[in-house]
Amino acid sequence: MHLFEILVIAHVIAGTTGLVAFWIPIGSRKGAQTHRKWGRIACYGFMIAGALAIAMALLSLYGPEERIPSVTDRALFDGLFGWMMLYLGLLTIGFADYGLAVVKHGRNRSALRAPRYQFVMVAVIVSAVWCGIYGFGIGEVLMMAVAALGIVAMALQERFIWRAEVDRQDYVGEHFRALIGMGISAYTAFMSVGLIRWVPEEVFNPLIWAGPSVVGVGLIIHFTLQTKQRRASRA
């Protein structure tokens, strides 16, 4: 068995763990033990899957073997299964890392300004910029769109971290937006590995790739409105 195949199997195991566990904290009472336990499992599963996606992306770009020979456009292959997968792996790790950190340090935002957290977000932004540039070069709108999503998300996180004043409960919104973003990037990355094996004729269908973003943004809007209603009722 080749190294790439081992990575794929490990990626699927870790990713499936995260994909299943992801929905339990969404459906459970926020802050409860079930929410915290399964939220951590989802985060760690996605972070491992993200690290393995980065390794697979590097092997696809620089490994000695030609991956997925059915894709004859190798520039497009390098873009989607190399640079975009590498970026999505970093984005998934970045979202999960921030989603956990903002709960731990949400009321002490100076801790989030430490190099340990800033390095992760900068790595995501750099990979997103290159993903967008490469996508522009080959005329692939999908790569540019997902790159823009990550840049905007990291900018919003940095805005929360560096703002002079925030509400005491603002970290809660940051937490669920980051972890729903984690789910979006993880589901999108999962498609880049699994979709071509299940339905190869639909692998470049933008409607399928946009699905996780549509669901995720819908959840973000739902929870944002729910939080605002709770604040209004408390006031």
Q: What is the pLDDT of residue 130?
A: 96
Residue 117 pLDDT: 94
Q: What pLDDT is recorded for position 22?
A: 84
CA distance 66 to 88: 21
Distance CA 71, CA 91 (A): 25
- pLDDT number for residue 38: 92
The answer to whether 220 touches 177, Cβ cutoff 8 Å, is: yes
Give the pLDDT of residue 223. Answer: 61
In the predicted model, residues of the chain with pLDDT beneath 50 are none
Query: Contact, 135 vs 141, CB < 8 A?
Result: yes
CB atoms within 10 A of CB 51: 18
Q: What pLDDT is stored for residue 96 in this prediction?
A: 92
What SS3 state is found at 63? coil
What is the domain partition of the chain in residue ranges? 3-234
Q: What is the pLDDT of residue 221?
A: 61
Write down the pLDDT at residue 171: 83
